[in-house]
Amino acid sequence: MLRADQAKDAMTAVSSGASEGDPVALRDQAVVELLYATGIRVAELCGLDLDDVDYSLRVIRVLGKGGRERSTPFGVPAERALRRWLDEGRNALVAPDSPPALFLGARGGRLNQRAVRTLVHEVVAVVPDAPDIGPHGLRHSAATHLLEGGADLRTVQELLGHATLATTQLYTHVTVERLKAIHDRTHPRS
């Protein structure tokens, strides 16, 4: 799992290639920003189509495990990266037989999960002292950062598409450690 500062550094790292305007780099920035912003699974990301993005509400419609559909919000940085990918990059990768996928691979097909895993590993590798994580580690980081920021467990459960609260509770260990440290530091009888 990444600390918040490491996640920020990862987002900065992935944006450096995009600044050149390279279509693949623009896509990669949008992919990493969206993964971290939403905490969606890599399969959910690869399954997104163009019409799954609602910019007016800044949410994506995700088809999760078990065919359950949910809407997941994303922030301004992810919106900027998505718009730039769609405005400046996607058309360069479109082939005659391209699907309506939000993210395309270098040959115009739907971006595959292996490419996303490789991308996340490469981006995180340039962040000093960051653990080697893949997309699921980015999901775990997003959930933990939401909880540390004050989000309640039920909200995080809904955002992540977990069927049970027990699954979401697995993400709380770092938050509990943080709460214990604050309690120890601030409570008069700790």
Catalytic residue among 80, 117, 136, 178: 136
Question: How high is the pLDDT of residue 64?
Answer: 82
User: Is 36 labeled as catalytic in the residue annotation?
Assistant: no
How high is the pLDDT of residue 173?
63
Please tell me the predicted confidence (pLDDT) of residue 32. Answer: 98
Q: Which residues of the chain have pLDDT under 50?
A: none
Please say if 121 is a catalytic residue: no
Q: Tell me: the pLDDT tens digits for 117-142?
A: 999 999 999 999 999 999 999 998 99
pLDDT at 185: 79
Tell me the fold of 4-186. Answer: hpI Integrase; Chain A (1.10.443)
Return the domain boundaries, the chain.
4-186
Q: Tell me how far apart the alpha carbons of residues 124 and 9 are, in angstroms, rounded to a whole number.
A: 9
Cα–Cα distance for residue pair 156/13, rounded to 1 Å:
27
162 is catalytic: yes
Q: What is the pLDDT of residue 149?
A: 87
Active-site residue 145, yes or no?
Answer: no
Q: How far apart are CA 132 and CA 123, in angstroms?
A: 10
pLDDT at 57: 95
Q: What pLDDT was estimated at residue 9? A: 96
